[in-house]
Amino acid sequence: MNLTLSVDDATTVSALWLQPPQPRACYVFAHGAGAGMAHSFMEALAQALLAHDVATLRYQFPYMERGSKRPDSPAVAQAAVRAAVAAARERLPDTPLFAGGKSFGGRMTSQAQAARAMPGVRGLVFVGFPLHPAGKPGVERAAHLADVKVPMLFLQGTRDELAELTLLQGVVQGLQERATLHIEDDADHAFHVRVRSGRNDEQVVQSLAAAIAAWFAS
């Protein structure tokens, strides 16, 4: 289902709503910096979650809606996150609500939650957390996670150039019982795996969906 979300008085963005007959959870699923809500990976994961009775709300950030390649400022992006979360909560007020997203979208969601907790959000799911720029290992981008007081699930590939695994494992350990790390062997930042891994990308998506659904249930 196609929706339109109001970010503020002057800004609206498109959204995609997928709801199973009896949703067990709802995931507000933001896109990454380089591709919008209709990207094949976003669509595949949303469909895989639907099979686990998880509703999803995908939405565009304002810059993507305009066709720009330059991501929004954190303030604008976080306003879009809040609008999407509020819309999902309104559609399924009695269903457990979670938020997060792919790469940039996940980080903007966690920044919003750290700045001011979003009503109803029970946890955050990061589909490839962008811990640092490629080739520049560091953990500065994770500093705000200390201010997130809800549980967090990190889904990460072992070949992710934006999250050196040992650094991410240290971040997750520092967050203690609030954080869980799910690792996809041989997957890169796009969750693509090589033929020699013995799996294909579709199997990785199914694995991600199963991990997310199990975490929601827990």
Tokens 């990308």, residue located: 201
- What percent of the chain has a predicted confidence (pLDDT) above 70? 100
Taking the domains of the chain in order of start, what are their residue ranges? Answer: 2-217
Q: What is the pLDDT of residue 160?
A: 97
- DSSP secondary structure code for residue 143 in this structure: G
Rounded to two decimals, the pTM is 0.96
- Give the 3-state secondary structure of residue 195: helix
Q: Please, are residues 180 and 168 in contact by the beta-carbon 8 Å criterion? A: no
Question: What is the fold of 2-217?
Answer: Rossmann fold (3.40.50)
Angle between helices 40-50 and 201-217 (to 10 degrees): 50
Mean pLDDT, rounded, for 7-13: 93
Q: With the CA atoms of 35, 39, 43 and 49 taken in that order, what torsion angle do they form, in degrees rounded to the nearest 10?
A: -30
pLDDT range class, residue 174, cuts 50, 70, 90: very high
Q: What is the pLDDT of residue 53?
A: 98
- DSSP secondary structure code for residue 150 in this structure: S
